[in-house]
Structure formats: structure tokens, C-alpha cells
Amino acid sequence: MLPKEFDVSGKSVIVTGAARGIGKGIARVFAESGAKVMVTALTDRYLTPLAEEMEAAGHPIIPVTADATDSGDWQRTVDIALEAWGQIDVLINNLGDAIRRPLVPAPGSDGAPISDEEWRFVLDINLTEAFKGSRAVGPHMIERGRGRVINISGFAARKGSPEMLVYSTAKAGLARMTQTLALEWAPYGITVNCIAPGIFPDPETGDPQQIAASRENARTNIPLGRVGELREVGLLALYLASDASAYMTGETLYLDGGLSHA
């Protein structure tokens, strides 16, 4: 039996971008551990099937369609959570996406540079969403004098890659936001930490050929020789949400099989 400090049963948790990929893995782990879970996504395409799956497994979750980059949708999400639970214990800002494009195309290339719209989109979906989510939930956690905020970054926060300028910038910014917010909210009993995952393909919604290529590529390019399993990010998030991590704040934990050190 695990020590009681690892127990998250009964805790109320919001996970953004949770319909697929890493967010889905996080939501499953928390629901299976007895937490009360709300998952958000921009559409119900994958959200509804996930909710139905968890209901059938005996671990019901609350699905909410919402734009995590929109302040109004965030207020609605918080209102729904407080009406359902009366409190919010854990916020997991998981939304993210990337556009692979150089800042300036190489001479002779027929590629296009990053547009203003693409710059704003990638920053918003990786960084602004966490800012708005934390701002929406923060007053409630401060009033209660406790809470956990977990931001999901990426190994790009430590290691840049060609043609991933905006994504790397956003993820690095999220790590610094985590550190700064941890200092601001420490006096109120709130911890703020960050998980930076490596390669975590989703076998349920991803392209099978791309997933197979990722697994093969990992054999030689990732020190541990494999891609990550979605559940593994959820397990680390579970630790950060539990009392076992009560003395940790402002940290970015890299969960990438050693990729960011290679």
C-alpha cells in the first residue's frame, strides 16, 4: 500500500486539452485514482468518446467544450467546476500544438516564413492558455490557501530544434512562467510545477505510420531507446498533485527518456 501522501482520491482536477494525447493519459490516471476530473477540449470529437469510456469503466469525468485561450470560456469552466465540486484542488494546463516552419526560409527554398498569425497561434495555445487558466483559477486557490498548478511544457523548453522557433520559445516561456508564479503564490500554500515531456505518441488517434516511425527513430535517438507511454506523464502529474510533492515548487521536470540531454 502506498503512503497516504500519494493519495489523490476526492481531489478535484481540471485538465485542459484532455481529449487525446498526453492530456487524455493524465485524465485517465487521475480518474482511476479516485480524483474528481473535469476535462476540456475545443470540440467534443474526442471528448465525448473519452467521457463515455471512463463512465463505462466506473470512473466518470466531466467533459466541457471550451477554448482554453479564451478568458470567457475559462470563467465558464471555473463556474462549472465550482458548481459541481465547490472547490478546485488541481489545475493542469496541458494544451499545446506546434507548427514546423523556419523564421526565414533558406536561400532557394520555396518554403514560407512564420506568419504573424502562426506566431500568435502557437504562443497562445502553448503559453497564453496557461496564463489565462492560472489567472482564472488563482483567486479561488488563493482564497482557500492551497492548490496545485501543473503546466505541461516539452523538452523544447531546454533544447531548441530547427524550424521549431515559436514552439521552443513558448515552451521555454512556460517554464519561466512556472518558476515566477511559484514564487508569487508560495505564500498562499499553492505549488506551481511543470512537466516537460518528450515524444509521447497517441496510438488511439495518431497516424499509425508516423507512430511506427517515431518508435523506430527512438531506438537510436532517445537514450532510453523508446518513446513514452501516455500514462507515464499522468503518473508524474499525480505525484505533483499529491501531498508527497508538497515541498516542491517552481520546478520543470523533464520526462523524455534523456532526449533533452542527448
Q: Are 238 and 5 in contact (CB under 8 A)?
A: no
CA torsion 51-129-12-180 (nearest 10°) is: 150
pLDDT in tens, 124-148: 999 999 999 999 999 999 999 999 9
Dihedral sign for Cα 84, 86, 88, 89, please. Answer: negative
pLDDT score at 2: 81
Tens digits of per-residue pLDDT, 222-259? 999 999 999 999 999 999 999 999 999 999 999 999 99
Among 1, 45, 3, residue whose Cα is nearest residue 24: 45
Give yes or no for a contact between 173 and 127, defined as CB atoms under 8 angstroms apart: yes
Task: Label residue 121 by pLDDT band (50, 70, 90).
Answer: very high
* CA gap 11, 47 in Å, rounded: 21
Q: Does the active-site annotation cover 254?
A: no
Q: Which domain holds residue 70?
A: 4-261
Q: Higher confidence at residue 110 or residue 250?
A: 250
Q: Check pLDDT > 90 for residue 111.
A: no
User: Residues 167, 188, 247, 254: which is the catalytic one?
Assistant: 167
What local confidence, expressed as pLDDT, does residue 32 receive?
97
- The predicted structure's pLDDT at residue 246: 98
Q: Which of 124-138, 172-186, 209-223 has the lowest mean pLDDT?
A: 209-223
CATH number at residue 198: 3.40.50.720
Using CA atoms, how far apart are residues 49 and 55, in angstroms rounded to an integer?
10
Judge whether residue 178 has pLDDT over 90: yes
Domain count, the chain: 1
Residue 204: per-residue pLDDT: 85
Nearest C-alpha neighbor of 30 from the set 50, 9, 53: 9
pLDDT in tens, 48-107: 999 999 999 999 999 999 999 999 999 999 999 999 999 999 999 999 999 998 899 888
Look over the chain and give the mean of its residue pLDDT values, rounded to a whole number: 95
Confidence of residue 207 (pLDDT cuts 50, 70, 90): confident
